[in-house]
């Protein structure tokens, strides 16, 4: 079980976007140069965030991506779901339905106890992610490293490409 590395890219990108002036946008190419990532692939991840309503994208010159809403209204779960999709990690194949007993019209994805236990665990995971917003993360970073927002801004200014 492995989470896409795009999740890490997306979270860091969103935090960086939250340090921009309102209305300011950053292209996928510049964000990729910031972290030395493959530009086209990062672009794909940012597109996923845009489809999920976390970012807004504008084409053409002076275009790029920006946050679609306040960082306090974006949870980590939102970002993870945007990249990884809505499906759960554990997917009940209902193999128990091929065992003994009566199985008429039973949905084991809901009723199987194994499935339920796994779902409980994933719920705990989701709850933990939903309880943290990008604003929380951002303020934690700023408390530890107050120069971070300025550092990011100057780095964007000095990037070539």
Partner DNA sequence: GATTAAATACTCGGATATCACATGTCCGAGTCTCCCTGG
Partner DNA sequence: CCAGGGAGACTCGGACATGTGATATCCGAGTATTTAATC
Under the criterion CB under 8 A, does residue 40 sit at the interface with its own copies? no
The residue among 63, 13, 80 whose CA lies nearest residue 42 is 13
Give 31 or 133: the residue with its C-beta nearer to DNA: 31
- Closest by alpha carbon to 71, among 87, 52, 55? 55
- State the binding string over 38-77 for DNA (x if CB under 7 A, else -): x-xx-xx-xx--xx-----xxxxxxxxx------------
129 binds DNA (CB under 7 A): no
Report the relative pairing of strands 55-58 and 64-67 from DSSP bridges: antiparallel
Q: Which range binds its own copies by CB under 8 A, 17-25, 50-58, 59-67, 151-159?
A: 151-159
Residue 60: CB atoms within 10 Å = 6
What the block records as the tokens of 103 is 């199985």
CB of 90 closer than 8 Å to CB of 119: yes
Helix (H, G, I), strand (E, B) or coil at 75: strand
Side-chain half-sphere of 93: how many Cα atoms within 13 Å? 3
What residues numbered 91-120 form the site for DNA, per CB under 7 A? Answer: none
- The Cα–Cα gap between 139 and 27 comes to 24
Among 25, 52, 68, 152, interactor with its own copies by CB under 8 A: 152
The residue count for binding DNA (CB under 7 A) is 26
Residues that bind DNA (CB under 7 A): 1-2, 4-6, 27-29, 38, 40-41, 43-44, 46-47, 50-51, 57-65
Residues that bind its own copies (CB under 8 A): 1-5, 7-9, 11-12, 34-37, 76, 84, 87, 89-93, 95-96, 98-101, 113-114, 117-118, 120-122, 124-129, 132, 137, 140-141, 144-145, 147-148, 151-152, 154-155
């Amino acid at each position: 079980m492995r989470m896409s590395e795009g999740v890490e890219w997306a979270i860091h990108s969103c935090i960086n976007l939250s340090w921009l002036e309102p209305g300011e946008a950053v292209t996928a190419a510049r964000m990729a140069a910031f972290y030395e990532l493959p530009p086209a692939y990062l672009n794909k991840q940012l597109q996923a965030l845009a489809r999920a309503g976390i970012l807004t994208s504008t084409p053409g010159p002076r275009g790029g991506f920006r946050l679609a809403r306040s960082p306090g209204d974006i949870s980590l779960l939102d970002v993870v779901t945007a990249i990884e999709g809505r499906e759960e990690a554990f997917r009940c194949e209902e193999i128990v339905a091929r065992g003994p007993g009566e199985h008429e019209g039973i949905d084991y994805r809901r009723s199987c106890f194994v499935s339920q236990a796994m779902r409980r665990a994933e719920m705990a995971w989701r709850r933990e992610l939903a309880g943290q917003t990008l604003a929380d993360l951002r303020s934690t970073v700023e408390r530890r490293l107050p120069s971070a927002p300025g550092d990011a801004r100057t780095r964007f200014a000095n990037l070539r490409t």
